[in-house]
Amino acid sequence: MSAYREMGTEELKKELESLKEEYSKICEADISLDMSRGKPGTDQLDLSMGLFDVFNSSSEIKSAAGTDCRNYGVLDGLNEAKQMMADIMGTDSEHVIVYGNASLNVMYDTIARSFSHGVMGSTPWYKLDKVKWLCPVPGYDRHFAITEFFGIEMINVPLLEDGPDMDIVEKLVSEDTAIKGIWCVPKYANPTGISYSDEVVRRLANLKPAAKGFRIFWDNAYAVHHLYEGEENQDQILDIIEECEKAGNPDLVYEFASTSKITFSGSGVAAIAASKANLDFIKKQMSVQTIGFDKINQLRHARFFGNFDGIKEHMMKHAEKMRPKFQAVLDMLEEELKPTGIGQWTNPRGGYFISLDVMEGCAKKVVSMCKDAGMVLTGAGAPFPYGKDPEDKNIRIAPSYATPEELKEASKILIVCTKIAAIEKLLNI
């Protein structure tokens, strides 16, 4: 097999014919595969069953500070839960407020509060003619859904190998008073898996926004989600809160994280981390919104892990389950797609996704063909604001939920579809 772009028309036509035959066979088989969402596999969920054995008597449901976690109170979270979330995010517990079960909800609340009440004294966004937002792309569809829901105009910024294109970010943020924030997944980014370099983190921390109340939304969703053992094989990023402090911009960032992909997805603990001034402002709203979040679940998690070493150890068990899944997809791409020269993909050291760029103008077609063959992928365009991939080439692969065998099969289908779409493009069919 040689690179498609070097093939002649006849050779391509022949290849297409054989691929179409293969595709027909796939469609005839009754396949049902899903690589659409970053859901942990059942084997990963089994790792946290110990959560159900944490408490055996009512006396054990007291926090270190003596709070009976079965009753009301403690607005901003138990100390031990703050410590746990701080360890995960790589910051100090005094920067942390612990919330309910999902960091997405915390991000939503943060935007909603800014819309109705502004940010630490800034004009509430609803009173502004226009609010804009920077979106490194490809990125996380659910982030973009939140900003879209509040009528915020999203601006694409290229996500490079080491983070967002900072030349563009610095220019836009310093010039446009309407730009109120930027979405960032700084470590093992969704979907490309890249991590922000120290330089990028520092440049972000040193931004001089024209807008009042500009915030970096730092979704550290995959902070401890390494695929490999040993620090040398793991991405590390700088503590953005510390870097913002050093830069004289202590209030510039909100950091978010949860245990959703550490223990049970949707039944974990989420948190925000920020400067004291930010936290004080947030707590005023929180005190209206709730009496407090689920402390029993906070304590359950803190007890289950014991300390940060417990979390790191636990994450290596996840890595063991995840590695063969990533490998199954990557092996197939390497063997079957690479020689054709019509695809590019990432090989991340952590996180939940592989990002595949097919030939320009082909992503929608590939996803649609896969669907017809019984395989669900994240919608083409989803990793872009308004669901619009300007080059229609990016496909997010989520290898976590299926088995390595299923992933091999799924990758085969994906590759066949990718090839067909590419040849049809080359042949102008």
Residue 85: CB minimum distance to a copy of itself, A: 17
Residue 203 CA to residue 185 CA, distance in Å, equals 15
Closest CB 177 distance from a copy of itself, rounded Å: 20
Shorter beta-carbon distance to a copy of itself: residue 104 or 173: 104
- Closer by beta carbon to a copy of itself, 150 or else 228: 150
φ/ψ bin of 236: left (φ > 0), alpha (ψ from -120 to 50), beta (otherwise): beta
What are the beta bridge partners of residue 134?
155, 182
> 10 or 52: whose CB is closer to a copy of itself?
52
Q: Which residues bind a copy of itself (CB under 8 A)?
A: 37, 39-40, 42, 45-46, 48-49, 52, 55-58, 68-73, 100-102, 104-105, 108, 112, 115-117, 126, 142, 145-146, 149-150, 260, 264-267, 285, 287-297
Token digits of residue 336: 């079957």
At closest approach, how far in Å is the CB of 138 from a copy of itself? 19
**Nearest one of 115, 186, 184 to 152, comparing CA atoms:** 115
Are 40 and 413 spatial neighbours (Cβ–Cβ below 8 Å)? no
Nearest CB to a copy of itself, comparing residues 195 and 297: 297
CB of 258 to a copy of itself, least distance (A): 11
Give, as one character, the DSSP assignment of residue 226: B
Closest CB 28 distance from a copy of itself, rounded Å? 28
Phi, psi of 171 (to 5 degrees): -65, -50
Q: How far is the CB of 54 from a copy of itself (least distance, A)?
A: 8
CB of residue 247 vs a copy of itself: minimum separation in angstroms?
32
The amino acid that residue 278 corresponds to is N
With respect to a copy of itself, which residue has the nearer C-beta, 114 or 192? 114
Sheet holding 179-184, edge to edge: 96-98, 270-273, 253-258, 215-219, 179-184, 132-137, 153-160, 163-164
CB burial class (10 A; 0-12, 13-18, 19+) of residue 305?
A: buried
Identify which of residues 102 and 375 has a Cβ nearer to a copy of itself in the complex. 102
Strands 354-357 and 394-397: antiparallel
- How many whole angstroms separate alpha carbon 61 and alpha carbon 297? 10
Q: Which is nearer to a copy of itself, 125 or 188 (CB)?
A: 125
